[in-house]
Structure 1
Amino acid sequence: MIRSFVALACLLSFNTQAAEDITVYKCTIKGIATFSQTPCAKNAEVIKLKQPLIADKQSNNGSAASLPGTSSVDNYIEIQKIEREIKRHQLSIKNYKEDLAHATQQASYVNQDQANRMGAESIADAIATKTAAIQNRYNGLISAVQQQIDILQQQKRQLSSQP
C-alpha cells in the first residue's frame, strides 16, 4: 500500500512538472535545412522551443502526436515550410510584374495596320486597348497569388500562437 502511494506521488509530481525548453539545432547541409537534437555542424543554429506540460499533453487522447515537445517542433517546421511557400509566391509576383512590364512595352509597338485590324480609331487607342487587356490579365494573376500569400500568413499566425 505504501509503495503504491509513493509510486502514485512520484507519478503525479512527474506529470505536473514545469515546462522546460527544448533545444533543436538547425544546420544547412548541401543547401538543405536539417534539424537535429544534437549539433549537426559547427555553425548550427540553436532554436529554443517551449515544451508543454506533460499533464496537458496526456489530455489529448494519448496520440503519438502528443509526445512532449512534438507540437512545438512540428509547428516550427510547418512555419518554416509556410515561409518558404510565401517567398516562392512573392517571387512569382515579382516575375509577373516583370512580365507585365515587358508585355506592356511590346504592346506599344503597334503600327497603323494593326490598329486598323483591331478596329481602333488611332494607334494610341490600339495601344491603350492592348495595354488594358494585358494589365487586367496580369493583375488577376497577381491578385490570386497575393490571396494565397494572405492565407499562408494567416496559417503562420495561427501556428505561431499555439504553444
Structure 2
Amino acid sequence: MRMISLIIVDADACPVKEEVLALTAPLNIPVTFVASYNHFSVNRTGNWVFVDTTKEAADLKIVNLTTATTLVITQDIGLASLLLAKAALVINQYGLIYDVNTIDASLERRYLAAKQRRQGVHSKGPKAFTTADRHMFKQRFSNYLQTNE
C-alpha cells in the first residue's frame, strides 16, 4: 500500500466531483480538478486548474501533475495508460481500477470501437450515469481511500 498525496480529477466530463470532495475532506487529501476553459464556472468548490481548449491540453496537464503517489480519476483510457506508466493509481467514474493487468484489454476495446465508428457503425454511446453508479463509486472510492491512507 502506498499513501495518496494528491487526487487529480479529469473534470471536464466527471460525474462524481461532489462525491470526491465529500469523501476526501475528512482525510485532508488535496484534490485538484483539471478542466478546459470551456468548462469554467464561477460556482465551483475546491482547487481548479484550467487549461487551454486545445485537444489533449487537460490530459497533458494531468500527466505533468501526476506522481507515483497520485490517484487520478478519469474516464479516458488513453490517459489512464500514460498515468500507469508513471506508477500512478488510476480509477474511473465507477470506481473501477485501471492497472497494468487490465489496461491492454481496455485499450483494445477502445481501438475496436473507434475502428467500427470509422467504418460507419455507430453504437448508442455510453449509458446514462445512474444513482446506482454514483453509489457504487462512493463505496469503492471510500474503500480505496481507507486502504491507502
TM range (shorter): under 0.3
Compare the two structures and name the one with the higher helix fraction: 1
TM-score (norm 2): 0.21
TM-score (norm 1): 0.20
Higher RCO, Cα 8 Å, sep 6+: 2
Compare the two structures and name the one with the higher strand fraction: 2
